[in-house]
Amino acid sequence: MTTPVVGVLALQGDVREHLIALASADALARPVRRPEELAEVDGLVIPGGESTTISKLAALFGLLEPLRARVRAGMPVYGTCAGMIMLADKILDPRSEQETVGGIDMIVRRNAFGRQNESFEAAVDIAGIEGAPVEGVFIRAPWVESVGASAEVLAEHEGHIVAVRQGNALATSFHPELTGDHRMHELFVGMVRENAAAGSL
């Protein structure tokens, strides 16, 4: 099969690290800022950063509706940290009325693991990833309060859900792009390949 084209939503956040990790996982990685660029990718990563900013910029760049439409249509999408928040059908944050793309039937609590200076690393066992646990970097990270029946919990940390998959949508509380371990990106690129192969049957 030809190499899948995987975009990284490049409005704010750690875009470069995801582009590098995706390239290591054998995808053609490119930044996505405009609806025309979104239309050209086989899958998309929504990076970590600040979800209120990403959400506002997505609306400003006319990307929110096209993003929702592609996720609804089954485009594989992977959200890390702020990106996880963007994929939540519902967020718990009394201060903000921020909009999300949605796609995963889950309720996410922003900043649940505490403030910036309470950021930490922890080994996380992920269902579907062979070998040693993944080193999870948690930076002002969200956790998932609850998931609906169609969402599958892939990992927990200290009793809190930190990785979820629903169909072609994947989300983690932590940042695998900040470590040299690209197994999460390989998992996602595998999802993109499968989806592209199913579409061309």
φ, ψ of residue 43 in degrees (nearest 5): -160, 165
Interface pattern 65-94 for ligand GLN (x via CB under 6 A): ----------------xx--x---------
Contact between 143 and 106 under an 8 Å Cβ cutoff? The reply is: no
Residue of 81, 157, 182, 185 marked active site: 81
Residue of 17, 18, 157, 177 marked active site: 177
For 127, the token pair is: 């269902």
Contact between 37 and 9 under an 8 Å Cβ cutoff? The reply is: no
Can you tell me which of 111, 122, 152, 194 binds ligand GLN, judged by CB under 6 A? 111
Q: Tell me how far, at minimum, the Cβ of 57 lies from ligand GLN, in Å.
A: 12
- Tell me the β-bridge partners of 7: 30, 44
139 binds ligand GLN, rule: CB under 6 A: yes
Q: Which residues contact 25 (CB under 8 A, 6 or more apart)?
A: 182, 185, 186, 188, 189
175 flagged as catalytic: yes
45 vs 82, beta carbon nearer ligand GLN: 82
- Give the interface segment with ligand GLN, choosing from 29-37, 45-53, 153-161, 184-192 (CB under 6 A): 45-53
43 binds ligand GLN, rule: CB under 6 A: no
Q: How far apart are CA 181 and CA 130, in angstroms?
A: 12
- Give the interface segment with ligand GLN, choosing from 2-10, 18-26, 32-40, 42-50 (CB under 6 A): 42-50
18 vs 110, beta carbon nearer ligand GLN: 110
Contact between 14 and 178 under an 8 Å Cβ cutoff? The reply is: yes
Specify the amino acid at residue 183.
R
Q: Tell me which residues touch ligand GLN (CB under 6 A).
A: 48-51, 81-82, 85, 110-111, 139-140
